[in-house]
Amino acid sequence: MPETVADVLTVQRFADLFARVRRPFIVETPETPWRTLKNSLTDGMLTAHLLHGDRTFGVSLDKRHGSGRIALNIALEVDFGKREEPLAEVFPRILGEPGLAVVMAVHDAGQDLRIPETAWCVSWTGGRSLHFWLTPREPVPQETAYTVAQAIREGVDARIAERDLCVCHAWPTNGGTGKGMNIRLPWGRHQQTGQVARFVNLRDGALDLRDPFPDDVEYLETLERNQLDPEVLRTAATLARHLEPVRPVRPSRTRPAAAQATVESETAGERIERSLLMQTRRIARPCILNLLENGVPEGYRHDVALLLRSELVHCGLTPADAWLVYRRYMTACTPVWEEADARRDLEANWSKTDPALRHLCPGRGDPSPVTRYIHTHCCVGAETCGWRRAAAALVAWNDHLSVDATALYLTLCLMETGHCEEWAPLRPGDTIHTTAADLMTRCRLGRKDLERARADLREAGLVEYRPTGRPDGAGTSTGSRHSLYRRIIPVPDPPAKPDPKS
């Protein structure tokens, strides 16, 4: 094919999307496997990659910038077969149901971090792999890109593990100051199979291959249009960071031994929080999240499903969101609950589920066997539970509340779980009966500060507060007015852009 001006422009557009780092690069020919060259990848080489197919090139997705490093793209690789498997056997899996499941998993994992589906570009390598590309409009710090890539990788792995598939590589491959691996560029020839790489479409619930280069040049326009705003990646990185340390580390001075003994179960809950971000943040109850990880034996399945469902209704999840959580519970049960049965259970009972039936931690009296089972197998301890309830709500409100209001909210969460209390633990959103004097003592705040913090929380829609009709202080050690506090569940979203000067 003759190289025209249009080809040159196309090559430049292609390079602007995928080959933004020109040095060093990797090259593969029919005779020689991949090798790294230190010189710069030229437009001529890219033309050879796209048009002639006698050489295939790959590039790095990160480079040095100042004293740090920046990333130009994010990419994932998922292999659908072993190296020795013939392509004819692997290819149906790539475009078939397993491939579709992987694409959906990548979209879902991205959406957990608020990355839109349209930002993903899927490329078949010509061999046994699919590559998933995210291209930010401007470079982002390598650490940001790495955090996002790893969070998506974990999210995808959690979703496709049951199919014996996993993300083999996530670029950038290095989160520190080091250089990462190179990746094969799209649209080149796969030298082992002789096939030409092509982009993949998700259309009508199925995958199909787009035309090869140069017939598919107009797709570059779509890719350019769908480039990701770097701000979205920064938000995604922040979300990804928030997911990992779900349980805040407390100094040991106040940490009870019982809470320290539950590390294993907390880890399980945190895994769930990573894979179902938005839903679990709304649930914000560690025992329920552990339930999704551990499941229950056959005899408890339906009874616990009722508790789970009422929790989901209480948290304001839509049936579609609830199904994602329900499906997770379904697969965790022993034996696995059949999907059709679980879906029928959810759909038939959703509208008539009473949130008042939510799991109540055992206090006084004799708990039911189901309550006792959940408490024994899934409880993380009162204090840890309180901290995680607070963390789930406050992670989004961090920049919007005064430090006194944050402290008061944290105290209410800890009071809810009954930490250091004689009363039975409460569920998220249950009414807390206390006095202003009690709260002032717990928070070590003066009266004016407490009142201001309380007003802030009320104004933000996070807490309801109502004095009772007993102003005489009867029945309290401090002799002050009784009040009822209630955390509002579901926790509202903070305003989009707070104005610091308002």
Partner 1 sequence: MPDRETVLVAWGVPEAARIIGVPYRTFRRWLMDGLVALTFHPRVQPQERARLTVADLAEAWCIADLRRAGVSMQAIRRILVRLDALQEREQRRLTDFKAVLVDMGGQVIGVHDDGVHERLQDGQVRIDLERLRRVLAKTPGEPVPSCWLDVLTLREGFACA
Residue ranges binding partner 1 (CB under 8 A): 66-68, 141-144, 147, 238, 240-242, 244-251, 387, 390-391, 394-395, 398-404, 406-408, 410-411, 442-445, 449, 452, 456, 498, 500-502
The residue among 238 and 480 lying less far from partner 1, judged by its C-beta, is 238
Selection from 265, 196, 98, 96 nearest residue 273 by Cα? 265
Please state the closest distance from residue 471 (CB atom) to partner 1, in A: 26
The residue among 59 and 401 lying less far from partner 1, judged by its C-beta, is 401
Selection from 321, 311, 303 nearest residue 287 by Cα? 311
Please state the closest distance from residue 405 (CB atom) to partner 1, in A: 8
| DSSP state at residue 213 | T
Selection from 109, 305, 144 nearest residue 231 by Cα? 144
Please state the closest distance from residue 306 (CB atom) to partner 1, in A: 32
Please state the closest distance from residue 452 (CB atom) to partner 1, in A: 7
d(CA 324, CA 292): 11
Query: 57 to each of 19, 70, 75, 193, how far by Cα in Å?
Result: 10, 21, 16, 16
Please state the closest distance from residue 494 (CB atom) to partner 1, in A: 11
d(CA 52, CA 11): 13
d(CA 150, CA 173): 9
Please state the closest distance from residue 478 (CB atom) to partner 1, in A: 18
Please state the closest distance from residue 247 (CB atom) to partner 1, in A: 7
Please state the closest distance from residue 430 (CB atom) to partner 1, in A: 21
195 — phi, psi (to 5°)? -85, 150
Selection from 132, 127, 84 nearest residue 104 by Cα? 132
d(CA 332, CA 346): 16
The residue among 249 and 348 lying less far from partner 1, judged by its C-beta, is 249
DSSP β-bridge partners for residue 129: 79
The residue among 394 and 436 lying less far from partner 1, judged by its C-beta, is 394
Q: Tell me how crowded residue 455 is: count the other CB atoms within 10 A of its CB.
A: 12
Sequence-separated (6 or more) residues with CB below 8 Å from residue 448: none
Please state the closest distance from residue 375 (CB atom) to partner 1, in A: 25
- Alpha-carbon dihedral sign for residues 442, 444, 447, 452: negative
Please state the closest distance from residue 453 (CB atom) to partner 1, in A: 10
The residue among 131 and 389 lying less far from partner 1, judged by its C-beta, is 389
Terminal Cα-to-Cα distance of the chain (whole angstroms) = 62
Would you say how long the chain is, in residues?
Answer: 502
The residue among 129 and 142 lying less far from partner 1, judged by its C-beta, is 142
Sequence-separated (6 or more) residues with CB below 8 Å from residue 422: none
Sequence-separated (6 or more) residues with CB below 8 Å from residue 311: 283, 285, 288, 355, 358, 359
Please state the closest distance from residue 395 (CB atom) to partner 1, in A: 5
d(CA 4, CA 432): 75
The residue among 370 and 395 lying less far from partner 1, judged by its C-beta, is 395
The residue among 365 and 500 lying less far from partner 1, judged by its C-beta, is 500
The residue among 400 and 433 lying less far from partner 1, judged by its C-beta, is 400
Two structure tokens written together for 339: 């999907």
The residue among 200 and 401 lying less far from partner 1, judged by its C-beta, is 401
Q: Alpha helices of 295-381 — where are they, by DSSP H?
A: 301-314, 319-332, 339-349, 369-378
Two structure tokens written together for 453: 């913090």
The residue among 345 and 449 lying less far from partner 1, judged by its C-beta, is 449
